Structure 1
Amino acid sequence: MEFTAEEKALIIQTLSQRKQWLEKKLTDAPNAASEEMNRQLGRVLAKFTAEEHKVETGPQSRKDVRILLVDDDEPSAKMLATQLEGLDFDNTTLAHDGQSAIKLLYDTPLPFHLVLCDWNMPIKNGLEVHEAMEASERYVHTPFVMSTSVTQATLIREAIDRGINDYLAKPISEQALKRKLKRFFPQLF
């Protein structure tokens, strides 16, 4: 089950309070059942605390980075996926339109660490995918990089003002891709 950061914080706070209450009660009248309950509660609290820490640390290797690649142009998508694999980022999920991407954002059990999304696509465009991503608390810290043939500075500035983290101009060179990945995952370079 996936919890938001806010839900995890509330669970940790509640479990900590319950554990403190039980510890206080145990000093008054200890017995085997209440001690076992206290141990179990401690294990659950430790698990949530460990998961919270794990979420904050992020991926430990390039192969752990979950990338959602969204592009309606299959040759472009395959080329970008190949470039990612060449850099050892091979945990890539592909969507061929914005609507499929939005479905994947919400239906995938583990959230993506990075979204690389084409701007101009049928059904839903890249900005609409970004808006849907922003609506989910699970993607608060997930970078969104727009891959685009749009080169008008005003349009790119508008997209960045709307929360896009960065963009890659098509055709995407491996060096430009590597620079962006290094920016978002410096610990992996």
Structure 2
Amino acid sequence: MAFAIIAIRTPEDNGDGRYPDVTSSDDSHLVSLEPADGAAITRVRAQRIAVYQETGGDLPPIIEPVDLELDVIITDARLIVASRKFDQCRTWGGLGPAGVVAAGALTVISKASAAQRRRGKTLAGHIRYPWVNAIAVNQRIDRHNGQEIIRLQLTDDTGSHGRRLILELVFPPLTPMIRVTPLM
């Protein structure tokens, strides 16, 4: 399996170094910190995350989860992303009054099933700073209504040839980017 920056992990998956070690579901901290992470830790909440892979000059998303609560942890050694509240369900649509009611019921059932499926699982990933090739920080008022965007680019050399990956994090308006960017 190719490295994708973020993946759904359980504590049994820990130890490979490509992804952060996740904690048990009853621990309020989503991931375990390492000694190299230091004491200067910044925690912020992101609204959206996506991972893009360069393919023939295009950058299609390979991972773009929706409807999640994403913690971003910035340490002295790496940027960590983690969430236990991510959507693994399907939203249903319907036509007409009866269709809308049925679709709503199916969506509620799907969300409840998704909560059960993700129990004990964490969507987690990290980028160690030596892996980073480039960083872009900007505000895109036209596309994201004033939200701040940070993109980190890295090259995955785990396969037979390197591939360029971009991690994009979108933060809500008024997120103090001065707190986020100095460590990067």
Fold equivalence (TM over 0.5): no
Structure with greater proportional strand content: 2
TM-score, normalising length from structure 2?
0.23
- Bigger RCO of structures 1 and 2 (CA < 8 A, at least 6 apart): 2
Q: Which has the larger radius of gyration?
A: 1
TM-score, normalising length from structure 1?
0.22
Structure with greater proportional helix content: 1
